[in-house]
């Protein structure tokens, strides 16, 4: 009499692992905090953008009237104009400075390399109010060291505190000095991950330093470069601390300095909300700024996808 051997069926992975509710339970605290402090404020901002609200009485629904008023506001237009000028200049220039520093420090070794990394990164961890205090003194037209150097070299003394053109230039200088160390550190980590064999192959083909950077370094740095660029754009769009501190802005005395040379959207939103109790106006500015950030991020991802296809 023959017997059929029992065939053992493989167990399903889902049944072996059991229900997934413990994993979701562990994610619960994070999701709760994220929904409470990120998603909820965004939704509330969208809702308030269609209202007029002074923070005391009940919000009054006005539809798109507040959007129309903000789009025709001279101060809001000035704030977004300043922002576009600032972003267009500071992001590529800051990336170029960070990449140059990373390439330079990557060729150093030992204590000298460690010292240079620390020295370049130090301004990034310095409190912003100290950064603003130092640069307010350095850019002072009366006794600032920057103008003293320019005059010693035969140039004119520039009015960094009153002329909107030089106010913007001064802010860009301060921002690059402050953020270059962060960009350098991320790009330096990317440089350290590039295989040395690629550079050896390039040298065998007769490539010089410039050709190595163009054909080996930059293509290998694409993922890191994209991350640093996206972070730089998002940070630049939300600029607030440095122009506020450099111009010594106050709700009662105006913001952005003379001729609103350093007025930016976040500063305008703060003044309209906490200073003027017009939370609907501030919400509209936040929505417009969020749309600008989302558009820039989408374009960045589109460019990255085309890079990867190439």
Please, what is the average pLDDT of the chain?
86
**Spatial distance between the Cα atoms of 166 and 139, rounded to a whole number of angstroms:** 10
**For position 251, what pLDDT does the model report?**
67
**For position 280, what pLDDT does the model report?**
92
Give residues with Cβ within 8 angstroms of 288, minimum separation 6: 70, 80, 265
Q: What is the mean pLDDT of residues 214-242?
A: 88
Q: Give pTM, 2 decimals.
A: 0.85
**For position 285, what pLDDT does the model report?**
95
**For position 252, what pLDDT does the model report?**
61
- Find, among 172, 134, 144, 127, the residue nearest to 264 by Cα: 172
Residue 166 lies in a domain: yes
**For position 49, what pLDDT does the model report?**
92
**For position 47, what pLDDT does the model report?**
93
Which CATH number goes with the domain that contains 147?
1.10.3720.10
pLDDT of 117 strictly over 80: yes
Asked if residue 246 lies in contact with residue 262, where contact means CB atoms within 8 angstroms, the answer is yes
Three-state SS across the chain?
CCCCCCCCCCCCHHHHHCCCHHHHHHHHHHHHHHHHHHHHHHHHHHHHCCEECCCCCCCEECCCHHHHHHHCCHHHHHHHHHHHHHHHHHHHHHHHHHHHHHHHHHCCCHHHHHHHHHHHHHHHHCCHHHHHHHHHHHCCCCCCHHHHHHHHCCCCCCCCCCCHHHHHHHHHHHHHHHHHHHHHHHHHHHHHCCCHHHHHHHHHCCCCHHHHHHHHHHHHCHHHHHHHHHHHHHHHHCCCHHHHHHCCCECCCECCCHHHCCCCHHHHHHHHHHHCCCHHHHHHHHHHHHHHHHHHHHHHHHHHHHHHHC
Give percent of the chain above pLDDT 90. Answer: 47
Residue 17 lies in a domain: no
Asked if residue 268 lies in contact with residue 238, where contact means CB atoms within 8 angstroms, the answer is no
Residue 49 lies in a domain: no
The CB density around residue 42, as the number of other CB atoms within 10 Å, is: 12
Residue 74 lies in a domain: no
Residues in the chain: 310
Asked if residue 102 lies in contact with residue 187, where contact means CB atoms within 8 angstroms, the answer is yes
- Find, among 42, 39, 6, 28, the residue nearest to 287 by Cα: 42
Give percent of the chain above pLDDT 70. Answer: 92
Structure confidence by residue, pLDDT tens digits, 289-300: 999 999 998 888
**For position 17, what pLDDT does the model report?**
44
* Total tally of structural domains belonging to the chain: 1
Asked if residue 168 lies in contact with residue 139, where contact means CB atoms within 8 angstroms, the answer is no
Structure confidence by residue, pLDDT tens digits, 252-271: 667 888 888 999 999 999 99
Q: What is the mean pLDDT of residues 182-186?
A: 93
Residue 40 lies in a domain: no
- Find, among 93, 100, 80, 75, the residue nearest to 169 by Cα: 93
Cα separations in angstroms, 132 against 126, 137, 163, 166, 295: 10, 9, 18, 16, 31
Least confident range of 17-26, 105-114, 267-276, 285-294: 17-26
Residue 235: domain span: 83-309
Structure confidence by residue, pLDDT tens digits, 35-45: 999 899 999 99
Residue 36 lies in a domain: no
**Spatial distance between the Cα atoms of 258 and 207, rounded to a whole number of angstroms:** 52
Residue 152 lies in a domain: yes
For residue 52, the cross-strand partners are 60
Answer positive or negative: Cα dihedral of 273, 278, 279, 283.
negative
Q: What is the mean pLDDT of residues 230-258?
A: 85
**For position 16, what pLDDT does the model report?**
46
pLDDT of 14 strictly over 50: no
Residue 136 lies in a domain: yes
């Amino acid at each position: 009499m023959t017997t059929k051997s029992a065939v053992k069926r493989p167990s399903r992975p889902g049944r072996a692992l059991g229900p997934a509710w413990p994993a979701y339970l562990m994610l619960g605290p994070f999701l709760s905090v994220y929904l409470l402090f990120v998603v909820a404020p965004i939704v509330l901002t969208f809702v308030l953008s269609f209202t007029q609200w002074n923070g005391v009485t009940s919000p009054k629904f006005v539809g798109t009237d507040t959007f129309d008023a903000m789009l025709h506001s001279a101060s809001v237009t000035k704030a977004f104009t300043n922002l576009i000028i600032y972003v267009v200049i500071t992001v590529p220039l800051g990336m170029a400075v960070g990449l140059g520093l990373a390439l330079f420090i990557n060729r150093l070794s030992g204590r000298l390399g460690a010292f240079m990394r620390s020295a370049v990164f130090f301004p990034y961890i310095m409190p912003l109010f100290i950064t603003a205090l130092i640069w307010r003194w350095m850019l002072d037209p009366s006794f600032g060291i920057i103008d003293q150097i320019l005059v010693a070299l035969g140039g004119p003394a520039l009015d960094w505190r009153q002329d909107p053109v030089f106010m913007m230039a001064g802010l860009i200088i301060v921002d690059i000095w402050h953020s270059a160390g962060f960009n350098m550190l991320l790009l330096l980590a990317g440089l350290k991950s590039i295989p040395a064999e690629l550079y050896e192959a390039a040298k065998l083909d007769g490539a010089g330093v410039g050709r190595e950077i163009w054909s080996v370094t930059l293509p290998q740095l694409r993922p890191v470069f994209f991350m640093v660029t996206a972070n730089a754009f998002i940070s630049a769009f939300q600029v607030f601390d440095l122009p506020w501190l450099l111009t010594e802005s106050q709700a009662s005395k105006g913001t952005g300095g003379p001729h609103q040379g350093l007025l930016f959207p976040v500063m305008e939103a703060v003044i309209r909300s906490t200073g003027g109790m017009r939370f609907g106006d501030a919400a509209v500015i936040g929505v417009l700024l969020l749309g600008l950030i989302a558009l820039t991020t989408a374009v960045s991802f589109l460019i990255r996808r085309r890079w990867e296809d190439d």
